Structure 1
Amino acid sequence: MSDNLKTIRELAEELDVSKQAIQYHIKSLTNKKRQTNDKGIVVLSLEEQEFIRSKVDKPTNKTKTNKQTNDKQTDKETKWDIHNYLISELDEVKKNRDKQLAVKDKQLENKDSQIAQMQNLLDQQQRLTLQDKKMLEEYKAEIENLKSLTLKSHENEQTSSITKYPESKENKEKWWHLW
């Protein structure tokens, strides 16, 4: 295993604290996916280890003068480590945000093109509907013309048959009178 990555147990033994204490401090880290080793055990990066060390290392009761100077140095180092860790986390969040925004931009472009295509199809459908309506009106007018022509021709036939029919009727009546 790499020296840079340590398991929770290894870090707890090194700091002489319980695994639960380490896990408690891990909760205060960001909720990103944790790295695991080949056995599936969670491992901590150097930044995470430094952050946990800064939280776990508490000064013991020694001489205050030595501790004050040491504390100031370790506080500066700890603050710097925490600062670096937070900056790296912030950079990662920014990268993820930029990726998500790029994906959303592509999705919006796709939606815009789909909307334009749907609008075009709707316009075509409206034009076709209008053409169909005009054609139906033309067909209706043509049918009316044909009906009026057939009615006129029927009327002409009836008038011609009426004029012929009475003559033949008279002839028939004459014929019947003979008997």
Structure 2
Amino acid sequence: MSENLKTIKELADELGITKQTVQYHIKNLPSKTRKKNSRGAILLTKEEQNFIKSRVNKQSDREQSGREQSDREQSDREQSNREQSDREQFYLEKIKIQEEQIEDFKEQRIELREQVKHLGVLLDQQQRLALQDKKLLEEYKAENDSLKALKMPTEDTKEEQANSQPQAELEALKSEIKALNDKIKGQEQLNNQVSKKWYQFWK
């Protein structure tokens, strides 16, 4: 057999493809006549082999390009999915942090409310104590003024006492003088009556 002639199997083995693939490309050969060996197997000339190799290489290139394109698309999809997953994870983490911050704010608000309530109670107590202190101070001042009035009479009180004491004494003296005058008059009347009696007696 000439080295330029090869069977379908030999060409398929050389190209690393199946016999069916070679037979598929044989249908596209320009010439429809085929050489055969003594066993009836189809023999392919050098031109026919090159034609089939060219088609196989083109198909292989297309398949390779398609695989590469598919690989690139698959890689892009995987990259996009990873980026999407990373974004989702980022947003989930962000949402989780915000939820934790919201919970912290709620707890702080509750604590502030309790503090305000406690401060309100303390302020009320302070106001009550201030009122009690004010009342006690006023009572103390009143009591102190009362004690001062008892222990140390004021100038007005002293003057009143000074003015009222002679007046009372004067009134008492007047009463005594009047009583004495009345007594003297009574005595004079009595003397006059006695003198008249003696005068009549000596007559």
Q: State the TM-score, normalized to the length of structure 2.
A: 0.46
Q: In the alignment, does 2:164 pair up with 1:175?
A: no
The equivalent residue for 1:117 is 93
Q: In the alignment, does 2:136 pair up with 1:160?
A: yes
Q: 2:60 aligns with which of 84, 87, 111?
A: 84
- Which runs of 5 or more structure 2 residues have no equivalent in the other structure? 1-29, 32-46, 160-203
Q: 2:110 aligns with which of 97, 116, 134?
A: 134
Secondary structure of the equivalent of 1:164?
Answer: helix
The equivalent residue for 2:119 is 143
> Computing the radius of gyration over CA atoms, which structure comes out larger, 1 or 2?
2
- Which runs of 5 or more structure 1 residues have no equivalent in the other structure? 1-67
Q: How far is the alpha carbon of 1:105 from its aligned partner?
A: 2.3
Q: How far is the alpha carbon of 1:119 from its aligned partner?
A: 2.0
Any runs of at least 4 consecutive aligned residues in structure 1 with deviations exceeding 4 A, and if so which?
A: 72-81
Q: How far is the alpha carbon of 1:90 from its aligned partner?
A: 1.3
Q: How far is the alpha carbon of 1:169 from its aligned partner?
A: 2.0
Q: In the alignment, does 2:83 pair up with 1:104?
A: no
Q: 1 CA distance for matches of 2:143 and 2:56?
A: 130
Q: How far is the alpha carbon of 1:93 from its aligned partner?
A: 0.8
Could you say what the CA RMSD is over the residues aligned between the two structures, in angstroms? 2.9
Q: How far is the alpha carbon of 1:78 from its aligned partner?
A: 5.3
Further displaced range: 157-166 or 127-136: 157-166
| Higher relative contact order (Cα pairs below 8 Å, separated by 6+ residues) | 1
Q: How far is the alpha carbon of 1:126 from its aligned partner?
A: 0.9
Q: State the TM-score, normalized to the length of structure 1.
A: 0.51
Amino acid in the other structure paired with 1:138? E
Secondary structure of the equivalent of 1:175?
Answer: coil
Q: 1 CA distance for matches of 2:141 and 2:115?
A: 38
Q: 1 CA distance for matches of 2:85 and 2:142?
A: 85
Amino acid in the other structure paired with 1:159? K
Q: 2 CA distance for matches of 1:117 and 1:154?
A: 54
Secondary structure of the equivalent of 1:138?
Answer: helix
Amino acid in the other structure paired with 2:68? E
Q: How far is the alpha carbon of 1:95 from its aligned partner?
A: 1.4
Q: How does 1:53-68 map to 2 (within 5 A)?
A: none
Q: Deviations over 1:13-68 (max 9, x none)?
A: xxxxxxxxxxxxxxxxxxxxxxxxxxxxxxxxxxxxxxxxxxxxxxxxxxxxxxx8
Secondary structure of the equivalent of 1:88?
Answer: helix
Report percent identity of matched pairs: 6
Count how many residue pairs are aligned between Structure 1 and Structure 2. Answer: 111
Amino acid in the other structure paired with 1:144? G
